[in-house]
Amino acid sequence: MQKISLHPSGPELSRIIVGAWRWTNESAPQIEQLIQTSLDKGITAFDHADIYGNYSCEENFGIVLRANPSLRNRLQLITKFGIKLLSDKRPDHNIKHYDTSTSHITWSVENSLKMLATDRIDLLLIHRPDPLLNPAEVAEAFSTLKQQGKVLQFGVSNFTPTQFEMLQSYLPFPLVTNQIELSLFRNDPFFNGDTDIMMKHKIRPLAWSPLGGGKFFEDERIKELMNRLCLKYGISAMQLMLAWLLKHPSGVLPILGTTKPERILEGADAVKIDLDRQHWFELLRAVNGRDVA
């Protein structure tokens, strides 16, 4: 599996990332199998968030790392913070809201370190833009965590280009990514400045929902085209959709959210596919319903 640096300063991650947001009801042996399958295919990066699985997914993953401490140095941990859900596990939350205060950032990191059974987070992301975000506070908290070695790199998720640049202007080190919704079926980030700003800053996007949430099945015309191209390349629909993203010069890193080892194996092989430029535009036209201008 190809490794790719999110930024010239790092970190270097596997080109495909495995997302743990669905790992809610899996047993420790099942999670260990998912981790091992990923590592065997060269996928070393795992995407988390404190809220996933009603605040359970980090802990489930950490149970496996605690039982198999040698795994930790073979993988990178990405996690996110900032959303406060209504949950029986958080009885003090009276409304779903965001919190990017210094105190919550510090608490979130300490809690994620404990849940994940690790002494460091490789990449920490602000999960959603917070209208009450104080960039000076965030910069202070991030700088302290970096100096302490508890977080190695920082980024954001679902930020607009202007929100990204505003926060970056307060930080003494680079934000290394923006994790955004990006797929063949949600391709406007390639046209609205989302990926442009990342290329300007020499960073790479992480793509959540890279398969478009199953929209492939909703349109017979698109399905027919995809079936034809899958037959031509000898690949699956999943691999075709990932190859479409991987073709973009921004260097997209798709996040596969799956609980099935065979889907990890299938997705990993998408990095071997070099999609023809005209086929790339043919898929774009089919989804958008029009030719480029």
The residues assigned a catalytic role are: 52
Closest CA to 253 of 146, 108, 123, 65: 123
Token readout for 29 is 């042996």
The Cβ-side half-sphere exposure at 86, using a 13 Å CA radius, reads 3
* Residue 40, amino acid: D
3-state secondary structure of 171: coil
- Report the alpha-carbon angle 262-266-267, nearest 5: 115
Q: Quote the CA–CA distance of 288 and 18 in Å, as a whole number.
A: 28
Q: What length is written for the chain?
A: 293
What three-state secondary structure class fits 76? strand
The token duo for 4 is 């790719």
